[in-house]
């Protein structure tokens, strides 16, 4: 009955049923058609899917990002990026990418980056004489760096699915994240030269030193997170709690966050967390049923039967995830597809950390691909641009991100070098 599970899910998604309810509905229908299985299985598997200590990191990373997303704190990151690269050709575009790299070390979420810093970055570029659509495209593309440079909410979810060290996954994201920034900045630089975009004046060493000093309380957050994990002071889950507490203290101390605003932040974080956890919970039930039907084994046998080597398998996975990313959000794809592919990954000898970064980057690229690119919708709502106008300016950045995906897919060392240095090969 594997066909019922797969086809039923596709039909419900095509009818715009939310993915969590689609997985739950198909699973319950399957159980009704299987009288040997009691409906209590629904409660058991849904509860088991969320009964993982590691998943507690998700709400606290959300909380840290919300506390850090107040305007004044983000302005410090933007000012630092502008002081570093604002005077170069296409400087404000370069600033946009660099600020996203800085904020990636705080938020762990692409959508949080686009929604949090996006408006400020786009407005600054517009005032600097840059085309509105180009400014929006740079903002959309650079936001995809958020879940690659640690911390990362998608990598936490992948770690819980694949039973992989989140610390290694976080370290594995450093080089790919930096490469994404470099490739995107190179694209901005090339376009700026061809279109003769305006340049700003060098603000001087004094302003740079002032910007660095003002940004230290924010930039030190990822250092605290990773330093605590790798020194053994706290676990990845505990690091999220430390990050949230630190972000709260810094926000209040800097006067950018008022204590009366905290309850509203908590409500917003609770809503975001509930949505993610509902997907994880229903995906656990759906994946359990797929496993009971033997679908993962069939997928593994298929790839081994056609003698697929790791090179071909990763190419097919990238193509699959990029196509799915055009129609679904990243987390639902991850919790549905990854459990099915992991047996093949193991059989082909592909490193799970390497595979996790390949999957995550593929899904992040999907956020800027129509028709259901979530970041595109966030930016379009913010700028009132049409999808056509935004996509005309996004294609080169999309190509740059695909180049990075190809690099980390077929040069695993780019992902594994840093984790192997700290944890041993």
Give residue 391's pLDDT band: very low, low, confident or very high (50, 70, 90): confident
Mean per-residue pLDDT for 86-107?
A: 80
CB proximity list for 325: less than 8 A, separation 6 or greater: 333, 362, 363, 365, 366, 367, 369, 373
> What per-residue confidence (pLDDT) applies to 70?
62
> What per-residue confidence (pLDDT) applies to 2?
65
Instruction: Give the whole-angstrom CA distance, residue 408 versus residue 172.
Output: 10
Cβ(109)–Cβ(65) below 8 Å: yes
Instruction: Give the whole-angstrom CA distance, residue 115 versus residue 65.
Output: 11
For the CA atoms of the chain, what is the radius of gyration?
Answer: 22
> What per-residue confidence (pLDDT) applies to 401?
96
Give residue 125's pLDDT band: very low, low, confident or very high (50, 70, 90): confident
Cβ(342)–Cβ(290) below 8 Å: no
> Is the confidence at residue 397, as pLDDT, over 90?
yes
Three-state DSSP class for residue 369 = coil
Mean per-residue pLDDT over the chain, rounded: 83
Which pLDDT tens digit goes with each residue over 210-260?
888 888 887 787 788 777 877 778 777 788 888 888 888 888 887 778 888
> Is the confidence at residue 51, as pLDDT, over 70?
yes
Read off the pTM.
0.81
Which pLDDT tens digit goes with each residue over 354-385?
999 999 999 999 888 876 677 887 788 778 88
Give residue 208's pLDDT band: very low, low, confident or very high (50, 70, 90): confident
Give residue 1's pLDDT band: very low, low, confident or very high (50, 70, 90): low
> What per-residue confidence (pLDDT) applies to 137?
92
- The residue with tokens 């080089």 is 175
> Is the confidence at residue 23, as pLDDT, over 80?
yes
CB proximity list for 239: less than 8 A, separation 6 or greater: 57, 151, 224, 225, 226, 228, 229
> What per-residue confidence (pLDDT) applies to 108?
65
> Is the confidence at residue 11, as pLDDT, over 80?
yes
Calculate what percentage of the chain has a pLDDT beyond 90.
Answer: 19
Alpha helices in 348-386 (DSSP H): 352-366, 374-383
- The residue with tokens 């975001």 is 272
Mean per-residue pLDDT for 312-337?
A: 83
Q: How close are the terminal C-alpha atoms of the chain, in Å?
A: 42
Provide the phi-psi class of 200: left if phi over 0, else alpha when psi is between -120 and 50, else beta. Answer: beta
Cβ(281)–Cβ(161) below 8 Å: no
> What per-residue confidence (pLDDT) applies to 179?
96
The string of DSSP letters for 35-102 reads TTS-THHHHHHHHHHH--GGGGHHHHHHHHHHHHTSHHHHHHHHHHHHHHHTTSTTHHHHHHHHHHHH
Mean per-residue pLDDT for 409-419?
A: 94
Mean per-residue pLDDT for 5-32?
A: 83
- Lowest-pLDDT range, 138-152, 279-293, 298-312, 397-411? 298-312
- Written as six digits, the tokens of 421 are 């240095």
**Taking the CB of residue 384, how many other CB atoms lie within 10 A of it?**
8
- Lowest-pLDDT range, 185-194, 230-239, 313-322? 230-239
Highest mean pLDDT among 6-20, 175-189, 361-375 belongs to 175-189
- Written as six digits, the tokens of 268 are 């917003």
> What per-residue confidence (pLDDT) applies to 116?
66
Give residue 202's pLDDT band: very low, low, confident or very high (50, 70, 90): confident
> What per-residue confidence (pLDDT) applies to 314?
92
Provide the phi-psi class of 21: left if phi over 0, else alpha when psi is between -120 and 50, else beta. Answer: alpha
> What per-residue confidence (pLDDT) applies to 336?
82
């Amino acid at each position: 009955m594997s066909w019922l599970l797969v086809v039923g899910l596709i039909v419900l998604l095509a009818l715009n049923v939310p993915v969590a309810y689609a997985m739950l509905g198909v699973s319950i229908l399957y159980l009704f058609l299987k009288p040997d299985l009691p409906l209590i299985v629904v409660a058991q598997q849904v509860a088991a899917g969320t009964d993982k200590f590691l998943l507690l990191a998700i709400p606290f990373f959300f909380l840290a990002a919300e506390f850090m997303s107040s305007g004044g704190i983000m302005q410090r990151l933007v000012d630092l990026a502008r002081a570093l690269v604002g005077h170069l050709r296409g400087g404000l575009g370069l600033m946009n990418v660099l600020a996203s790299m800085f904020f990636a070390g705080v938020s762990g979420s692409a959508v949080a980056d686009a929604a949090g810093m996006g408006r400020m970055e786009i407005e600054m570029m517009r005032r600097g004489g840059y085309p509105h659509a180009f400014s929006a495209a740079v903002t959309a593309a650079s936001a995809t760096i958020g879940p690659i440079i640690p911390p990362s909410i998608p990598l936490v979810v992948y770690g819980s699915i694949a039973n992989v060290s989140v610390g290694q996954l976080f370290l594995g994201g450093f080089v790919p994240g930096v490469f994404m920034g470099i490739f995107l900045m190179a694209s901005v630089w090339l376009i700026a030269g061809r279109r003769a975009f305006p340049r700003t004046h060098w603000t001087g060493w004094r302003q740079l030193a002032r910007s660095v000093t003002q940004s230290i309380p924010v930039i030190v957050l990822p250092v605290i997170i990773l330093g605590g994990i790798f020194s053994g002071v706290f676990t990845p889950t505990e690091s999220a709690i430390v990050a949230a507490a630190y972000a709260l203290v810094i926000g209040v101390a800097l006067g950018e966050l008022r204590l009366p605003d905290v309850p509203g932040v908590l409500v917003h974080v609770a809503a975001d967390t509930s949505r993610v956890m509902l997907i994880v919970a229903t995906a656990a039930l759906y994946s359990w049923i797929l496993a009971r039907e033997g679908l993962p084994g069939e997928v593994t046998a298929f790839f081994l039967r056609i003698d697929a080597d790791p090179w071909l398998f990763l190419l097919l996975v990238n193509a699959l995830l990029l196509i799915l990313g055009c129609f679904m959000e990243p987390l639902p794809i991850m919790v549905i597809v990854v459990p099915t592919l992991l047996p093949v990954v193991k059989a082909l000898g592909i490193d799970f950390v390497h595979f996790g970064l390949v999957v995550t980057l593929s899904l992040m690229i999907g956020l800027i691909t129509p028709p259901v690119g979530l970041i595109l919708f966030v930016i379009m709502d913010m700028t009132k641009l049409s999808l056509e106008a935004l996509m005309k300016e996004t294609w080169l950045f999309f190509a740059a991100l695909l180049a990075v995906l190809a690099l980390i897919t077929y040069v695993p060392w780019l992902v594994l070098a840093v984790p192997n240095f700290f944890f041993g090969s």
